[in-house]
Amino acid sequence: MHYVSTGQGPAVVLIHGLFGNLDNLKNLANALEPHYQVIRVDLPNHGQSQHWQQMDYPQLAQECVNLLSTLAIPEAHFVGHSMGGKVAMALALLHPVKVTSLVVADIAPVSYSPRHQKVFAGLTSLPLDSKTTRKTALEHLLAADIDVGTAQFLLKNLQRTDTGFEWKMNLAGLIENYPQIIGWDMPNTSFNKPCFFIRGGESEYVTAEHTDAIMQQFPKVSAKTINGTGHWLHAQKPEIFNRLVVEFIDKHSV
């Protein structure tokens, strides 16, 4: 798994969401680096990491365990956004000795109904030949009814080749494994260390109906809503998001 490690101190691992890469939480990394070793990862099928044809949360959690072993780190704080939050939660449930504390940004430990069909349709129908430019690619995604912010985020995955463009991410693999990505097939267990759930006030990803599932699996949870933000809360109000995360990790660092 590709990663970047900066800073020194207790370890904090930052995990991006679907279609993202290790740059997504760089702003948070900058806030943590003065006092922590911050490890930003590209999850498999994303960024510069390897492409997997099969991908589920137990496998991704094990990949995080392997990374800690590679870096000779016994345990770390984990911060995950969206799908990355599910990876971090799966790690906490399956390998609790590896997790000092857990921060989950705008996702719940539940199965979701499909919500990325338009995105997949727009991405798979985008021509990647020599006639394509970043401008025409953006126009194509906007025509596919994808909002401009999401479209610009998705196009960070395009990289130029001799004959046009290609996706850095394993788009076919993400489509194949999408049921596992939105699902939550985890054992009936709980993580009894500090957890912090942060949600966007205008997001539909974490709602009151998810409270019981969160409490059952993460009983030592505290929670905060950042008003005026949606699912991309860390990008929309980074100063508030970063401050909340740093304060929580400071409180629970040895």
Task: Tally the residues of the chain.
Answer: 254
Q: Which residues contact 189 (CB under 8 A, 6 or more apart)?
A: 93, 217
d(CA 123, CA 114): 16
Give, for all 254 residues of the chain, the pLDDT tens digit.
999 999 999 999 999 999 999 899 999 999 999 999 999 999 999 888 899 888 999 999 999 999 999 999 999 999 999 999 999 999 999 999 999 999 999 999 999 999 898 899 999 998 888 788 888 889 998 999 888 888 888 988 988 888 778 899 999 999 999 999 999 999 889 999 999 999 999 999 999 999 999 999 999 999 999 999 989 899 899 999 999 999 999 999 86
Asked whether the beta carbons of 37 and 9 are under 8 A apart, the reply is yes
**Catalytic positions, written as ranges:** 82, 231
Domains and CATH numbers, the chain: 3-112+183-251 (3.40.50.1820), 117-176 (no CATH)
CA–CA gap between residue 248 and residue 239 (Å, rounded): 14
